[in-house]
Chains A and B, each alone.
Chain A
């Protein structure tokens, strides 16, 4: 690159795109400006695409047909998807991006070999193998995550003997084939081996991860796709790909670490620990006070209790998402507020299946975000609350995390629901949560269970409250 060359207008456009993306993310720091941020980010994307189309594109029909089909399916499915299905939707789109990055790498390797007589220059080879490997893992992993979240396959961890050894072997094959591509030793064959092995590793690495750990996996796969996109930028000498990919890589990694911290577990433990499969000690049940007696109540009793409370804290969990009960929850809260009850929502950082999952669902139901409280802010509040109403949350309220050392979730910060005067748990049945751990909270003398579908139960409660 000579210094007196005049800058290519396309590169200037790419620079503007990079700025738009950074500003777009910057404006996400407050719900007030977040929409503006997303618009700025869209504008940046548009600028980059228009600029790219001016670069001597010949295959118009391929590009045109591809964009039209992709946009139509993408916009349609994003419009019709239910808010409760958001995690799998994001996983699916993420997988598409990862797959695209891997295919761009394939295109690059074939182009380079054609142009340079069958060899791959090392400077380009390294980013090519990285974008192929990371992109394929993200693609295959996202698809498995999608299938698990959509319940097309079991959300429980799938394990088999020698799992780590198999994964290790595949990782070795990936490294070996990547080195072969960079050394131009049978580069085309090596590349296909790399592609296949990476896809396989993507599948195998998400299989043993249970549903409760999905927030971590989804943010990690998001980071992967970002990094894969950045690597394609190195191959194509394209700064906008490098900048955007790095932004997403950083964001995904940061979120992954935050999720891990919220569960007091290292990322390695999440990825290789197979949470739900941890040996179940009887210790959790033994440690529970109250002698294993579970008290169940009726909608009438609980409705009356809620109506005469001064403060109620609602603790939503994945069960609320499954039952799509967020609107009913809002109605119940409205009725209670009419009676002068103060209603707050306690949001555990890993409640649900993706970071901030509960916030989005409650926002959909028009719950003002000012009523939602983070764990640190709400925990001291429980002692003042008359009722903690737990809707489909389990592990994030499990006191075993505080005092049962043998529990797999020991050490995870939880919501202090047991400090409230009364505890009401809405639950489908006595089945343990995704993590498969008993919850001594249900045997607490202050706890009253209301079994049944969360949505139905809440509607019953609402009609009781209304009738008083």
Chain B
């Protein structure tokens, strides 16, 4: 294994731990937006898609390149839009109710 690969593996494993740590603090109420948010984040594969489809002398047929970028973009833009729509809806009590006296 090259030193370079080892560095990348280190980054990967540490990121896994950070992921577990951060995600375990998300309440059940937000699990659907969480899924959707992480779904959008793996749209980062669009970076890979651009690098494969857009470089000079691309290895894939241009049409395949377009399909690849379309798929990854769907993931990014669709994913973020859906998440945004979901989160928009999460509100605390809309109007203070009679029992909610503390607000004064």
Write the residues of chain A forming the contact surface with B, with a CB cutoff of 8 angstroms: 1, 17-18, 21-22, 24-26, 28-32, 34-35, 37-38, 41-42, 45, 48-49, 52-53, 55-60, 62-63, 65-67, 69-71, 73-75, 77-79, 81, 83, 86, 89-90, 92-94, 96-97, 99-101, 103-104, 106-108, 110-111, 114, 123, 218-219, 222, 225-226, 228-230, 232-234, 236-252, 254-255, 337, 347, 349, 354-357, 359-360, 363-364, 366, 368-370, 372, 374
Complex Cα spacing A236 to B55, Å: 13
**Cβ contacts under 8 Å, B40 to chain A:** 41, 45, 93
Q: Give Cα A97–Cα B72 distance, bound, in whole angstroms.
A: 5
Which of these, B1, B38, B65, B66, contacts A251 with CB under 8 Å? B38
Partner of A233, one of B8, B53, B59, B97: B8
8 Å CB contact of B34 from A28, A225, A363? A28
Q: Which of B7, B8, B50, B78 contacts A78 (CB 8 A)?
A: B78
CA distance A99 to B23 in the complex (A): 25
22 contacts between A and B (CB under 8 A): A24-B41, A29-B25, A31-B30, A35-B84, A45-B76, A52-B47, A59-B58, A66-B67, A70-B75, A90-B82, A103-B49, A104-B49, A123-B1, A239-B11, A241-B48, A247-B38, A251-B34, A254-B20, A255-B31, A355-B28, A355-B32, A359-B32
Q: Point out the residues of chain A lying under 8 angstroms from B73, CB to CB.
A: 66-67, 69-71, 74
A38 contacts B39, C-beta separation under 8 Å? no
What mask results when residues 1 to 21 of chain B are scored 1 for a CB within 8 Å of chain A, else 0? 111110110011101111110
Q: Are A234 and B8 in contact, with the CB atoms below 8 A?
A: yes
With A101-B48, A370-B92 as known contacts, state yes or no: A356 contacts B30, CB within 8 Å. Answer: yes
Question: In the complex, are the beta carbons of B12 and A103 less than 8 A apart?
Answer: no
Would you give the shortest CB distance from A63 to chain B, in whole angstroms?
Answer: 4
CB distance from A106 to the nearest CB of B (A): 7
The 3 closest A-B pairs by CB, nearest first: A70-B73, A66-B69, A250-B19
Chain B residues in 8 Å Cβ range of A1: 3-4, 7
Q: What separation, in Å, do the CA atoms of A363 and B83 have in the docked complex? A: 13
**Contacts A22-B18, A94-B39, A250-B16 given; does A360 touch B27 at CB 8 Å:** no
- Given A56-B56, A249-B19, A359-B29, also A103-B68 (CB < 8 A): yes
Check B55 against A355 for contact (C-beta < 8 Å). Answer: no
Question: Are A57 and B50 closer than 8 Å at their CB atoms?
Answer: yes
Determine the main DSSP class of A at the interface with B: helix
Query: Which residues of B pack against A, CB within 8 Å?
Result: 1-5, 7-8, 11-13, 15-20, 22-56, 58-60, 62, 64-94, 97
Task: Provide the residues of chain B in CB contact with A251, threshold 8 Å.
Answer: 19-20, 22-23, 34, 38
Across the interface, do A369 and B41 meet the contact criterion of CB distance under 8 Å? Answer: no
Are B89 and A360 neighbours in the complex by a CB distance under 8 Å?
Answer: yes
By a CB distance below 8 angstroms, the chain A residues around B17 are 250
Complex alpha-carbon distance, A350 and B72, angstroms: 29
Q: Which of B18, B33, B68 contacts A107 (CB 8 A)?
A: B68
A63 and B54: CB pair below 8 A? Answer: yes
B-chain residues with CB within 8 Å of residue A70 when the two chains form the complex: 69-77
Cβ-defined contact, A218 with B35, below 8 A: yes
Q: What residues of B have a CB within 8 angstroms of the CB of A106 in the complex? A: 60
- Residue in contact with A242 in the complex, picked from B11, B41, B56, CB distance below 8 Å: B11
Which residues of A are found within 8 Å of B36, using beta-carbon distances?
Answer: 86, 90
B93 to chain A, nearest CB (A): 4
Q: Which residues of B contact A366 (CB under 8 A)?
A: 89, 91, 94
- How far is A242 from B42 in the complex, measured between Cα atoms in Å? 10
> Quick check: A30 and B68 within 8 Å, CB to CB?
no
In the complex formed, the residue of A with least CB distance to B17 is A250
Within 8 Å by CB of B91, from A37, A81, A368, lies A368
Most B-side CB within 10 Å, residue of A58, A103, A225: A103
